[in-house]
């Protein structure tokens, strides 16, 4: 395989950003499910699916992403803030039913739903082709 063929298979930075946005949407979907999301993912994954993409205590330090609009970023930082509060207040060895009993999933759910609804307006982005950056 020559160098050009190998380069052609590498996704552009924009496509990588689109893929990351899609993964963030999937993580926010779990949070937007409230108690059902906790039951589906269990506590560690409930938090970590989001933290894989938006670091704990991001406070505006969320990594730049050309596929995420300013409004989406603002709402994702709101999700990050309330999720951080919940994570810090929750013991690490808690099970799904204990996490649900804290009430945190119910408090996180409306914030996550708001972010998810905004992201769904544009929908999932292509993971193979660059979308028009003006759509972000």
pLDDT tens digit at each of 136 positions of the chain: 455 555 568 999 999 999 999 999 999 999 999 999 999 999 999 999 999 999 988 665 788 999 999 999 999 999 999 999 999 999 989 999 999 999 999 999 999 999 999 999 999 999 999 988 766 6
Q: Delimit the domains of the chain by residue range.
A: 12-57+65-123
- Phi, psi (rounded to 5 degrees) for 95: -95, 175
pLDDT, residue 114, reads 98
Per-residue pLDDT at 57: 86
pLDDT of residue 72: 97
Query: CA-CA distances (angstroms) from residue 11 to 6, 69, 91, 126?
Result: 11, 21, 39, 11
What's residue 62's pLDDT?
A: 84
Residue 133 has a pLDDT of 74
For position 1, what pLDDT does the model report? 47
According to the model, what pLDDT value does residue 80 have? 96
79-84 own/partner pairs: CB under 8 Å, 24+ apart: 79/28, 79/31, 79/50, 79/54, 79/108, 79/111, 79/112, 79/115, 80/50, 80/54, 80/56, 82/107, 82/108, 82/111, 83/31, 83/47, 83/50, 83/51, 83/108, 84/56, 84/57
């Amino acid at each position: 395989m020559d160098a050009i063929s190998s380069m052609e298979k590498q996704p552009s930075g924009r496509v990588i950003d689109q893929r990351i946005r899609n993964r963030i949407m999937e993580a926010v979907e779990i949070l937007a499910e409230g108690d059902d999301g906790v039951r589906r993912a269990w506590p560690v994954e409930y938090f970590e699916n989001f933290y894989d993409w938006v670091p704990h205590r991001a406070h505006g330090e969320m990594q730049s992403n050309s596929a995420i609009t300013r409004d989406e970023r603002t709402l994702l930082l709101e999700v990050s803030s309330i999720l951080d509060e919940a994570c810090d207040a929750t013991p690490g060895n808690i099970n799904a039913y204990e996490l649900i009993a804290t009430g945190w999933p119910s408090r996180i759910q409306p914030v996550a739903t708001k972010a998810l609804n905004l992201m769904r307006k544009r929908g999932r982005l292509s993971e193979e082709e660059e979308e028009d950056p003006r759509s972000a």
